C-alpha cells in the first residue's frame, strides 16, 4: 500500500494468554498514590480512602475500596479454540499429510478476561478473546466455574457478550459514562494478567480519549473509540474492565503498545454498551452506510480543496445506487459536517455514519470546488460484507519540481483494457520532485487537473502549466489500480531550483 500521512503507533493486540505462561524476573514495587474521597468521583482527598477509612491515606491507596467492589465481578474467560492447519500438498507418492491428524485441526487453550455487567449472568469481553471458541468456561474469584454461551460478537468493535446460567446471585461491575471522563482522571485496569494472575489491578490515568487511528497487530477493529491510559495492560487482560475511582467500568481493555511503554487502549464503555445492547436485542449490530470510498485530508490537500484546515474527509468515488449517489455527493467533494457535527478524521467519520439510524434524513455539508453545499442524505442499512467508506490514506513523497514524465494512453493499451480512460499515463516520477511529494506513481493515469478533464498528453501538460502559474496547491485526480485517487501538487509551497 502506498505510504500515507503519519498515523498513531501500531499496538499489539492483547492476544489472549496461553494457560502455560511462566513468570520470571523481579517485580517492581508500585508507588503509592493519593487517597480518593468516596463522594466526588475525581477529587482527591488525602484524609480518606475509597473504602471510607479516614486517616490511613499513607497506608491504604485510593483504589482499595474500588478493588473490593470490582474484583468479585471480574472473571477469567478460559477458551478452547480449534486451530486448523492447511493441508500439506501430497508427496511424490500421492500420500496426503495431515499435520494434526486426519481431521486437520487441534484444540488450543487460551485465557482472557471479562466482567459481569448484568445480574442475569451477562459478561462483557473482547471478540478476539472468544474467536473460534469450541468451549468457553467462566471462572469467578470465589471459586465458582460455569460454562458460558456466546450471545453475540462484533469483530468490527472487538466486543462480545457471553452468558452464564446460575441460580445463585452474581456480583456486577456497574457501567459508567466514558464521555464524562477527563484527561488525567484516575483509572484502573483489571483482569487476568498473563492468563494466570487473576484479579490483577493496575492504576494509571486517562492519557487520551476518542482515539480512532489505532493500528492493532492481528485484526484492527473497523470502528474505534479508544480510551488511552498508562495503567499497565498485559497479555490476558483482554476483555477486563477499565474502571474509574467510583468502581464503574468506563472501558474494555483491548490492546497495549508493548511492555513498559505506558500505552494501553480500552474500548470506551459507551460504544461497548451500544454494541452489547444490539447483540442482546438482535444478535447482531445493525449499521448504516453512505456508499463512498474516502481518503484522508492532509494540510496541503486541504489548501488545494479550498478548506481552512484538514478537518474533513475526501470522496474518492461514489458507488452507484447508494445513499451518497442519490443525495448528489460527487467524487472530489470534501465532507466537512455530518448531521450537524464537524468532521474530525476518517475513522471518526465512519463511526458516526455507522451509528446514525438508517431511513432518517441527515444533512451533509460538502465543499465542492471551494464552495460549501448542504445535501440531504438518507442512509441505508450496511450490506454485508462491509466494503464501503474505505479507510485509505493518500500516498506521500519528497521535495520540489514537478518531475512527471507523461505519455498518451495508446489505442493499443486501450484495446487490451477497453475501460482505460484517455487521460495521460505517468511513465516515471522523478525522485525529489513535487510529483514525488504529492504521491504520484508510475502507471497512474491523470484524469483531471484542478477540475479540468485530461483528454491526452498535451491537455495534461497545459493544465499543469496553468496550475503551476496559479502558485497554489493543485488538486489532481488519478486512476490507480482501478480506483480513483486525489493528489495535491504543492505549488507555491516551495521554490523551484
Q: What is the pLDDT of residue 167?
A: 79
Q: Has residue 496 got a pLDDT over 90? A: no
CATH class, 288-392 region: mainly beta
Widest distance between CA atoms in the chain? 87
Number of Cβ within a 10 Å radius of residue 217:
11
| Grid cell at residue 245 | 475511582
Contacts of 325 (CB under 8 A, 6+ apart): 291, 318, 319
Which residues, 6 or more positions from 490, have their beta carbon under 8 angstroms from its beta carbon? 300, 434, 437, 438, 473
Ranges 22-26, 233-237, 335-339, 418-422: which has the least confidence: 22-26
The C-alpha atoms of residue 201 and residue 197 are separated, in whole angstroms, by: 10
Q: What are phi and psi of 381, to 5 degrees?
A: -65, 135
Every domain range in the chain assigned CATH 2.30.42.10? 288-392, 404-489
Please provide the DSSP assignment of 153-180 as one string: EETTTTEEEEE---SS----PPB--GGG
Catalytic residues: 128, 158, 238
**42 near 245, Cβ under 8 Å?**
yes
pLDDT category at 24 given cuts 50, 70, 90 is: very low
Query: CB of 349 within 8 A of CB of 343?
Result: yes
Strand partners, 365: 337, 374
Work out the pLDDT band at 1, boundaries 50, 70, 90: very low
Average pLDDT, the chain: 76
- The grid coordinates of residue 452 equal 479540468
- Give CATH 2.40.10.120 domain extents, the chain: 11-21+29-285
From 56-65, 152-161, 314-323, the region with the lowest mean pLDDT? 56-65
Mean pLDDT, residues 201-211: 88
Q: Is 496 helix (H, G, I), strand (E, B) or coil?
A: coil
Angle, CA of 317, 322 and 327, to the nearest 5°: 85
| Of 165 and 59, more confident | 165
For residue 73, give the 3-state DSSP assignment.
helix
Count CB atoms within 10 A of the CB of residue 329. 23
CATH number of 11-21+29-285: 2.40.10.120
**CA proximity to 357, closest of 460, 285, 271:** 285
More reliable by pLDDT, 450 or 374? 374
pLDDT tens-digit profile of 92-119?
A: 555 555 555 444 456 667 788 999 999 8
Alpha-carbon distance of 215 to 325, in angstroms, equals 30
pLDDT digits (tens, 9 = 90+) for 451-480: 888 888 888 888 888 777 676 788 899 888
Residue 423, CA distances (Å) to 304, 332, 414, 420 in order = 21, 17, 11, 9
* Contact (Cβ atoms closer than 8 angstroms) between residue 473 and residue 458: no
Q: What percent of the chain is modeled with pLDDT above 70?
A: 73
State pTM to two decimals: 0.62
What does the pLDDT look like over 147-164, one tens digit per residue? 988 998 888 888 999 999
Nearest Cα to 312, choosing from 363, 366, 355? 366
Confidence band, pLDDT 50/70/90 cuts, at residue 492 = low
For residue 273, the model assigns a pLDDT of 93
Query: Strand 380-381 vs strand 288-289: parallel, antiparallel, or unpaired?
Result: antiparallel
Which of the 8 DSSP states describes residue 491? T
- By the 8 A CB rule, do 420 and 400 touch? no
Nearest to 480 by CA among 307, 273, 316: 316
Q: Determine the Cα–Cα distance for residues 49 and 44; give it in Å rounded to an integer.
A: 9
Q: CATH for 404-489? A: 2.30.42.10
**Per-residue model confidence (pLDDT) at position 65:** 84
Q: CA dist 363 to 355, 356, 495, Å?
A: 15, 12, 41
So what's the pLDDT on residue 115? 94
The percentage of the chain sitting over the pLDDT mark of 90, rounded to a whole number, equals 18
φ and ψ at residue 191, rounded to 5 degrees: 170, -165
pLDDT > 50? residue 8: no
Amino acid at each position: 500500500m502506498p505510504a500515507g500521512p503519519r498515523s498513531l503507533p501500531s499496538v499489539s493486540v492483547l492476544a489472549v494468554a496461553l494457560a502455560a505462561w511462566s513468570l520470571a524476573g523481579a517485580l517492581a514495587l508500585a508507588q503509592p498514590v493519593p487517597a480518593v474521597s468516596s463522594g466526588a468521583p475525581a477529587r482527591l482527598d488525602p484524609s480518606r480512602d475509597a473504602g471510607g477509612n479516614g486517616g490511613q491515606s499513607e497506608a491504604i491507596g485510593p483504589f482499595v475500596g474500588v478493588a473490593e467492589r470490582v474484583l468479585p465481578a471480574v472473571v477469567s474467560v478460559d477458551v478452547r479454540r480449534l486451530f486448523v492447519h492447511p493441508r500439506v500438498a501430497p508427496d511424490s507418492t500421492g500420500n496426503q499429510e495431515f499435520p494434526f491428524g486426519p481431521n486437520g485441526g487441534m484444540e488450543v487453550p487460551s485465557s482472557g478476561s471479562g466482567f459481569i455487567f448484568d445480574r442475569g449472568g451477562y459478561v462483557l469481553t473482547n471478540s478476539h478473546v472468544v474467536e473460534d471458541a469450541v468451549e468457553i468456561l467462566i471462572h469467578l474469584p470465589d471459586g465458582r466455574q460455569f460454562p458460558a454461551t456466546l450471545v453475540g460478537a462484533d469483530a468490527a468493535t472487538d466486543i462480545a457478550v457471553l452468558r452464564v446460567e446460575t441460580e445463585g446471585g452474581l456480583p456486577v461491575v456497574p457501567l459508567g459514562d466514558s464521555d464524562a471522563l477527563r484527561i488525567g482522571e484516575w483509572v484502573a485496569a483489571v483482569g487476568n494478567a498473563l492468563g494466570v494472575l487473576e484479579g490483577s489491578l493496575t492504576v494509571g490515568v486517562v492519557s487520551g480519549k476518542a482515539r480512532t487511528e489505532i493500528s492493532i497487530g492481528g485484526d484492527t477493529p473497523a470502528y474505534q473509540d479508544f480510551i488511552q491510559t498508562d495503567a499497565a495492560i498485559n497479555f490476558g487482560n483482554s476483555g477486563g474492565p477499565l474502571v474509574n475511582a467510583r468502581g464503574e467500568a468506563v472501558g474494555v481493555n483491548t490492546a497495549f503498545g508493548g511492555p513498559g511503554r505506558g500505552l494501553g487502549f480500552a474500548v470506551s464503555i459507551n460504544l461497548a454498551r451500544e454494541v452489547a445492547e444490539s447483540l442482546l436485542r438482535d444478535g447482531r449490530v445493525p449499521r448504516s452506510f453512505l456508499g463512498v470510498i474516502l481518503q484522508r485530508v492532509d494540510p496541503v490537500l486541504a489548501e488545494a480543496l479550498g478548506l481552512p484546515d484538514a478537518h474533513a474527509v475526501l470522496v474518492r468515488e461514489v458507488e452507484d445506487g447508494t445513499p451518497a449517489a442519490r443525495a448528489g455527493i460527487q467524487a472530489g467533494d470534501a465532507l466537512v459536517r455530518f448531521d450537524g457535527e464537524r468532521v474530525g478524521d476518517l475513522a471518526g467519520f465512519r463511526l458516526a455514519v455507522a451509528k446514525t439510524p438508517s431511513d432518517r434524513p441527515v444533512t451533509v455539508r460538502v465543499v465542492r470546488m471551494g464552495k460549501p453545499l448542504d445535501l440531504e442524505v438518507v442512509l441505508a442499512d450496511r450490506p454485508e460484507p462491509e466494503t464501503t467508506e474505505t479507510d485509505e490514506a493518500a500516498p506521500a513523497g519528497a521535495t520540489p519540481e514537478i518531475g512527471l514524465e507523461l505519455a498518451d494512453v495508446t489505442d493499443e493499451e486501450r484495446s487490451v483494457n477497453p475501460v482505460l480512460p484517455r487521460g495521460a499515463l505517468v511513465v516515471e516520477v522523478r525522485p525529489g520532485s513535487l510529483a514525488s511529494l504529492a504521491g504520484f506513481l508510475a502507471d497512474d493515469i491523470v484524469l483531471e487537473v484542478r477540475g479540468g478533464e485530461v483528454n491526452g498528453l498535451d491537455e495534461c501538460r497545459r493544465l499543469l502549466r496553468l496550475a503551476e502559474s496559479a502558485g497554489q496547491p493543485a488538486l489532481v485526480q488519478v486512476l490507480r489500480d482501478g480506483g480513483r485517487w486525489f493528489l495535491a501538487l504543492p505549488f507555491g509551497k516551495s521554490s523551484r531550483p
